[in-house]
Amino acid sequence: MHNRLSIMEQVPEPGLLVGIVPAGPPNHIGMLHDYIRPEERVVACPNQDVVYGFGALDAERGPAVVQVPDFGDRFWVYQIVNQRTDSFVELGKMYGTKPGHYLLAHEDWDGEVPEGIAGVFRYDTRIGIVIPRVFLDDTAEDRAAVAPVVNRISVYPLEKFDGTMKVTDWANVPTFGNADATGDQEETQWVDPNTFFDVFPAVLDEIPPLPGEESLYAWFRTVLEGAARDPEIAAALGQAALDADVTVKELFEFRNYGIPVDHNWTTQRSGARFGTEYLLRTAVGKSNIFVNTPNETSYFYQDLDADGRRLHGAHGYRVRFDADQLPPVRGFWSLTVYNRHHFFHPNDLDRYSLGTKNQDLTFDADGSLTITVGGAAPADPATLANWLPAPDDEFTLYLRAYWPDDAILDGSWNPPAIVRA
């Protein structure tokens, strides 16, 4: 998070980072106007169900205003987290949020809240992140319909607040940076083990200890003071960071963490409210950072087929949802294919997920839905609409359930088996 803010500090105005990722200066936001492009490599496990936004809060620069337009019947949620990636805001369709302006301020800010602010949300770290998600059907008609709504999403410093609903044409914004963001690459390296302990003291200052962590923080600072005086301690810390990086890489694989459920799927139920679940926060941060709270979105992860074999595009697979076993949601659901780096696999159909957004899915006579996944297109053209292309390599399936029903939250519903053909 510290390093992400450093990048946002280099963005002169809201726009697109490397022409792909929404970004803005601290206490501002950038928005897309369509699905994120498959070349994106800034955040692992993107989805093509929503129009994304992204911005960083910096408490040292003062409060920020977040603008909520009238979304009508459309699903939407603003994920706003502190520097621990724990949520501190409830803004979304599931909360019955009314259109208006809301203030995001550090808990120590004691300024005057101006008239016209509908609510105030406080955070306790230096840095926060704002990520709006707005559902978009995969049709030209809905792309046209969503534009005037998305154009009224905005975040800006409190001093710019005048009570009006600001409008930005997010389809026409500048691009910043020339980094190569294409190809079969891993996520941008946001944490470098070689410089971890150079940055760590600043991070300790930016994130206050949770109750009970005071002694842990004191121990960290004592070790850092020792390393500043003794080269041998500094060298030992450097090696510890390199060793930890090897361990953390194992947590990139979804099968290596989380709660096991039916058919080799895994899930987690503490997203964006990790507290002191350090291992889970680390694993999620490595594999798919910026997950919503479970009541906003529940996630199911799959690296294996029903027989425990690693998913691979050399094979074909079937995912069959019985008529009464489609994901029970009040928002929407989707099933996404990711390559071994947890990004989209380029394909001729430009298709990376299937679900609620797809109007042309073919259901069986009994009301069930069968999705096929694999590197080779199905022989029957009539089933092409239900096919998810996979790379000729290991891959992962990822099911999202936005605004899930209780059956998902209490664990009584789980995704079906992934059956190899």
**Extents of the domains making up the chain:** 2-170, 196-249, 254-420
Summarised one tens digit per residue, pLDDT across range 320-358 is 999 999 999 999 999 999 999 999 999 999 999 999 999
64, 158 contact by CB (below 8 A): yes
Q: Which of 358, 60, 48, 16 is nearest to 176 (CA)?
A: 16
Q: Phi, psi (5° rounding) for residue 129?
A: -130, 135
User: What is the pLDDT, as a whole number, of residue 177?
Assistant: 84
- Coil, helix or strand at residue 56: strand
List, in sequence order, every beta strand (DSSP E) within 281-328: 297-302, 316-321
User: Tell me, which fold does domain 254-420 have in CATH?
Assistant: Jelly Rolls (2.60.120)
343, 41 contact by CB (below 8 A): yes
User: What is the pLDDT, as a whole number, of residue 179?
Assistant: 55
363, 415 contact by CB (below 8 A): no
- Distance, in Å, from the CA atom of 249 to the CA atom of 122, rounded to the nearest integer, reads 33
Question: What distance lies between CA 118 and its chain's CA centroid?
Answer: 26
User: What is the pLDDT, as a whole number, of residue 107?
Assistant: 98
**Would you say residue 183 has pLDDT above 60?**
no
Summarised one tens digit per residue, pLDDT across range 90-130 is 999 999 999 999 999 999 999 999 999 999 999 999 999 99
Q: What is the mean pLDDT of residues 157-169?
A: 98
Summarised one tens digit per residue, pLDDT across range 280-294 is 999 999 999 999 999
Q: Which of 18, 68, 26 is nearest to 42 (CA)?
A: 18
Residue-averaged pLDDT of the chain:
97
Summarised one tens digit per residue, pLDDT across range 131-151 is 999 999 999 999 999 999 999
49, 214 contact by CB (below 8 A): no
**Would you say residue 184 has pLDDT above 60?**
no
Summarised one tens digit per residue, pLDDT across range 391-405 is 999 999 999 999 999
Summarised one tens digit per residue, pLDDT across range 236-275 is 999 999 999 999 999 999 999 999 999 999 999 999 999 9
What CATH class is the domain 2-170? mainly beta
DSSP assignments along 92-131, one per residue: EGGGTPPSEEEEEEETT---PPPTTEEEEEEE-SSEEEEE
Q: Which of 321, 317, 322 is nearest to 307 (CA)?
A: 317
User: What is the pLDDT, as a whole number, of residue 185?
Assistant: 85
Q: Is the dihedral of CA 300, 305, 310, 312 positive or negative?
A: negative
**Residue 23 CB partners (closer than 8 Å, separation 6+):** 7, 8, 11, 14, 15, 16, 17, 30, 54, 55, 176
Q: What percentage of the chain carries pLDDT values higher than 90?
A: 97
Beta bridge partners of 129: 56, 81
**Would you say residue 52 has pLDDT above 70?**
yes
DSSP 163: S
At residue 181 the predicted structure's pLDDT band, cuts being 50, 70 and 90, is very low
Summarised one tens digit per residue, pLDDT across range 197-232 is 999 999 999 999 999 999 999 999 999 999 999 999
- Distance, in Å, from the CA atom of 274 to the CA atom of 111, rounded to the nearest integer, reads 30
User: What is the pLDDT, as a whole number, of residue 100?
Assistant: 99
- Coil, helix or strand at residue 242: helix
Token code pair at residue 110 = 């004691």
User: What is the pLDDT, as a whole number, of residue 396?
Assistant: 99
Q: What separation in angstroms does the CA of 315 have from each of 253, 350, 419?
A: 20, 20, 10
Summarised one tens digit per residue, pLDDT across range 10-47 is 999 999 999 999 999 999 999 999 999 999 999 999 99
421, 318 contact by CB (below 8 A): yes
- Distance, in Å, from the CA atom of 221 to the CA atom of 238, rounded to the nearest integer, reads 16
373, 394 contact by CB (below 8 A): no
402, 297 contact by CB (below 8 A): yes
pTM over 0.85: yes
